[in-house]
Amino acid sequence: MLDWTDRHCRFFHRLLSKKALLYTEMVNARAIVHGGTERHLRFNPEEHPVALQLGGSERDILARSARLGEAWGYDEINLNCGCPSERVQRGAFGACLMQEPTLVANCIKAMQDVVQVPVTVKHRIGIDKNEDYALVRDFVGTVADAGCKVFIVHARNAWLKGLSPKENREVPPLRYGVVAQLKQDFPQLTIAINGGFSDDAAVQAQLALLDGVMVGREAYHNPWWLSRWDEVFYGQPASNLSREDVEAQMVDYMAREAAQHGTHWYAIARHMLGLRHGLRGARYWRQIWSNHQLKDLPPHEVMALAQRASVS
């Protein structure tokens, strides 16, 4: 979710679900330590609970960035061992770390030694076309021995060569059974699953077997689904906000961001373009909010135009 789940996106998603744990996009640990601390770690207090997702493979750098993340108030520190992009591989982190479980274990231990919040790992079920269960089983076992108790498992292999990041989300087959086997082999661990979930029934089926489900792109493209989560998955009262209420709160947020940080509303609006997904007039509504020719208008005026377009 690089370049997607920034703090503006997370503020938007928190309006829809008060209970879901939100994750940052993957942040290079080196960038945090070497001068980009505020830019990379600033978030809105409304986002809690929120996890900082780190990319890196240098034990000391990861420990320093984890300590900074805790100081800034994050509720969890997560090490990404699942991203397959070549850019990430060149930095020697992401999915290629599954081939170095001892290194990952050392990094996890270094982070745990300096923070009180949970340190977790997100990873794949395999590398390239190797579907040998022993690879992911031994990876989890080694990292768990270092003290990690929570694993978020993307139920596809990561192909390090020959596929784009987009293709890596579609071409390697989903193998949910591998994640279920991990839970059977490591019942003491918290095992959550990621990959391909788009409706309540699919999530409920996994929650009967596992400890959690992570949803990525479907939550981004069809965010109104999140408005059901507190009631369906947490037994909490359903949100009484309408789509129009959420849009209005986002516009207020845009005005606040412009005043406090100089952020243009256009950089925020892109995250809510799926809010009216599936509704009549949604296409026209999206066109208004993504029209660069309207950039000089205040966001409240853009909202008025968008709402008129969606009902015309």
Q: So which residues are the catalytic ones?
A: 83
Spatial contact of 117 and 70, defined as CB atoms under 8 Å apart: yes
Give the three-class secondary structure for 27. strand
Torsion of CA 148, 150, 153, 157, to 10 degrees: 0
∠ at Cα 223 (45, 87), nearest 5°? 75
**Burial level of 61, CB count in 10 A (0-12/13-18/19+)?**
buried
Which helix (H) or strand (E) segment holds residue 285: the answer is: helix 282-289
Tell me phi and psi for residue 140, to 5 degrees: -65, -45
Dihedral sign, Cα of residue 122, residue 127, residue 133, residue 138: negative
Residue in this structure with the two tokens 């770690």, named with its chain if needed: 41
Q: What are the b/e assignments for 154-188, b being 16+ CB within 10 Å?
A: bbbbbbbeebeeeebbeebebbbebbbbbbeebee
ω into 187 cis (within 30 of 0)? no
Q: Which residues, at least 6 apart from 261, have a Cβ–Cβ distance to it below 8 Å? A: none
